[in-house]
Structure 1
């Protein structure tokens, strides 16, 4: 349990690589704050993460919104008292827009 006692926020954690990372973090002993825009998939992911006694909560929202980012940190600290790791896994799904064209908004 290399991550025992650590707290991690993982964005895009409801499926794919994000969910795989969240599962691994839980196996290694971390508490996970899973973030995703899809509430149904997020709920299912949190159930999976906690099924065998893992510590995880879900926060639904658009990580491109600064308020969501603030909420993630607030929820991590409220639930687990600290934050050690941030995994920025959420991606941009608009394949027609170049990375150089993406703004903070």
Structure 2
């Protein structure tokens, strides 16, 4: 059986969402260690063995966890529509000035 302090440490690791993003392998290993020490009501071990382990290995996994967007990425994505509008407005002004100066090609040389 796991020592109480080791059990508490592994439990915190498995239940801390940020660790899934920073160290998914460690979280998965901690879960497996906790699972090995788990006891059923009849006293038998809940350790994952043989056929069950092979089935779990064949299942798709969400590890490694996708990177969460940070504040800079969120601000960049939020600013894209206004940036595109400003670029389009600049192109329109440039074309209008070129037409006023008698160049019908929008200022292209």
Q: What interval of TM-score do these two structures reach, taking the shorter chain for normalisation? A: under 0.3
* Structure showing greater relative contact order (alpha-carbon pairs closer than 8 Å, 6 or more residues apart): 1
Bigger proportion of residues as strand: 1
Bigger proportion of residues as helix: 2
TM-score, normalised to structure 2, is 0.23
TM-score, normalised to structure 1, is 0.23
Bigger Cα Rg: 2
